[in-house]
Amino acid sequence: MRDVIGQKVRHKRFGRGTVTDLSRDRIVVAFEEERKKFVYPDAFYRYLLFENHSMQSEIDVVNRAHLREEEKRREKQREKEQHHVRLLAMKIGKKSQAIFNCTREEAEEIFRSGAAETGIYLNGKLKGKPRIPSTLQPNSVLIFTEKDAKSGERRVHGVAMADAYFWGGDCEDGRIPLHESHAVLLPESTAPLLRDFEEFSEFCGRWGRIPFKTCSPDAVRELLLELCERLAGSRKEAEIKELCRYFLRINRYPEPVAEKEETV
């Protein structure tokens, strides 16, 4: 905006005035009886009008951009409030967690890209279309595992929370975004075996052609607490503890990780 100092303006109540000062967010106008400070550029779509038509056209452009930004901020706030309400009403389902079958290389690519694929329906009316992960939601952990071809043992490559705004029932593209702060790719040397956890015994056999299966929060809780112990003292300790705390909180478990550690 070109120099507005000295420009004449009109105010519905104070009448004609002259701009005497302008800062990043304040404008000062000298009216006949007194000087007034206004918020800039808000005042020009609420109270003030340039007498110079060219100047008014310029400020109209600024105002429209400002209004668009204001609407974006309001919309973002509305979405945040709606999301909070939805989280409060969220039901913690018995099948709200996911175990994926993938190679180490595929797991690394998932963590690099920040999203996991649900695969496609193999038969029925929806054959060929992306699978809808309807039971997954912000409280879901994604566990990435692989069955070793030689030993037959299934190991865990990594764990990640689903994105805080992910709702499986709304997913149409078959992509589950990972949480930006709670995703841990495990060192191969500390990758646990699924058979070590009774709750996961059903996933240790033949997998089939689907990319992921679902399991309970209770099973995942035990796995995460075990990982916290295994990774204690390692460079991954803080990451896995933060993920575990987040998981416990959003799945409404009462005890934090620290309490679990103090009792072992």
**Averaged pLDDT, groups of 10, the chain, 264 residues long:** 84 93 92 92 87 89 88 94 93 94 95 96 92 96 89 88 96 96 90 70 74 92 90 93 96 67 40
Domain ranges of the chain: 8-89, 97-263
Collapsed DSSP state (helix, strand, coil) of residue 78:
helix
245 Cβ neighbours under 8 A, 6+ residues apart: 256, 257
SS3 for 12-73, per residue? CCCEEEEEEEECCCEEEEEECCCEEEEECCHHHHCCEEECCHHHHHHHHHHHHHHHHHHHHH
* Residue at 79: amino acid letter: E
The pLDDT score that the predictor gives to residue 262 is 42
Residue 205 pLDDT? 67
pLDDT, position 173: 95
d(CA 78, CA 87): 14
Cβ within 8 Å of residue 206, ≥6 positions away: none
- Position 259 scores a pLDDT of 46
Indicate the class that CATH gives domain 97-263. alpha beta
Comparing CA positions, the residue from 25, 22, 92, 14 lying closest to residue 48 is 14
Q: Which long-range contacts (CB under 8 A, 24 or more apart) does 124-130 make?
A: 130/171, 130/172, 130/173, 130/174
